[in-house]
Amino acid sequence: MKRVILHSLLFLLPFLTMAQSEVVKLTAEDDKFFEAQLPYLQKWMDEHEIGAVLKAEKLVTFLDKNTVTVYLRINYQNSDSAAIAYDNLKANFAKMNTLSLETSIFNKTAQLLEIPANQLMVNILSKDEESKDVRISLVGDKIEAKNVGTRAVTSKIDVKVPLRKPIIPASNQKKFKKPTPPTAADLQKAKELEEAYMQTVLKKIRQESEKYFTAPNKGGKFTYLGIRDGALRFEVSDIQREIFRDKGSWAPYEMITFTVACVKDKEDIKVEFTIDAKKGASFPWKPRVSAFIPIDDDKEGKYKMEMYAYIYGAMIERWLENLN
């Protein structure tokens, strides 16, 4: 019997902070805000074993184009060593995460800078070269990493919930006779049924999340960011006491970004979700103006994020219990 396994990946990703078709006009004041986010990006990379190889070096805001380019540098002395180190980093990251290293970095950067993904580019440089080795950008509805240099740079929660198992039809099956093995067409049909069910799971999670966060007792603003690289992304703002649930007369406003993906793992379907969040003062979030800071920037925030992952995981489990 197949089953869905829920995983919360607390460090990821964030995500794209507003409707991607929107173009936001950037100002000199925004540039100051962007610069202040680089230490948070470096801290995130350090905490997730990326920072030993990559350093957040600088960013450039192109006000005439309303775009931002962030430059990361591979921390090795020559391009050959840098390429090998980067290849190893990507391979090790892929063993532990559903989304790629480049997608994860890009999403985290967009979330910190509070800009649409189509206004961001991340360039990864070798230490001894000014030419860009890897350029990460949004192309259509997919985040793409393109090699452009002279040398190609090459805490979880498990919850079992019911999953409908696709039926593989047996070819030429006759009564009292052992069925023949499934054909290629049978296997393709089963794959299509499974993929369709994964989309049903994501649709259910989106619908129930929107219903939950916009309920009168929550009053949050729900922004659907779309399906990108197979993952559902949405953002919740104008909300209080979701992560900081302590009783009292005051609680900070929160801006929370979710990414939810269904992944096939042998005979199981894994539902992996990621949470990233910022907090502010006594007023709702406004991009690049509210001066919100990452919730997990200190020990208390990390603890509350971990506890909230269990809470949201339990909600997903409940929503999927009777899914048809």
pLDDT at residue 8 in the model: 43
In angstroms, the CA 69 to CA 59 distance is 6
Average pLDDT, the chain: 79
Write down the pTM of the prediction.
0.66
Q: Whats the size of the chain, residue-wise? A: 324
Q: Say if strands 3-9 and 268-279 run parallel, antiparallel, or are unpaired.
A: parallel
pLDDT at residue 1 in the model: 31
Measured CA to CA in angstroms, residue 200 lies from 222, 232, 253, 262, 324 at distances of: 20, 12, 32, 10, 9
pLDDT at residue 141 in the model: 65
Question: Pick from 187, 213, 193, 218: which is nearest to 269 by CA?
Answer: 193
Domain ranges of the chain: 3-320
Backbone phi and psi for residue 223, each to the nearest 5 degrees, phi listed first? -120, 115
Quote the tokens at residue 114. 């509070």
Q: Where are the alpha helices (DSSP H) in the chain?
A: 28-47, 79-96, 101-113, 184-213, 299-320
Quote the tokens at residue 222. 């729900």
In angstroms, the CA 99 to CA 272 distance is 10
pLDDT less than 70: residues of the chain: 1-21, 79-80, 127-133, 140-141, 148-179, 267, 324
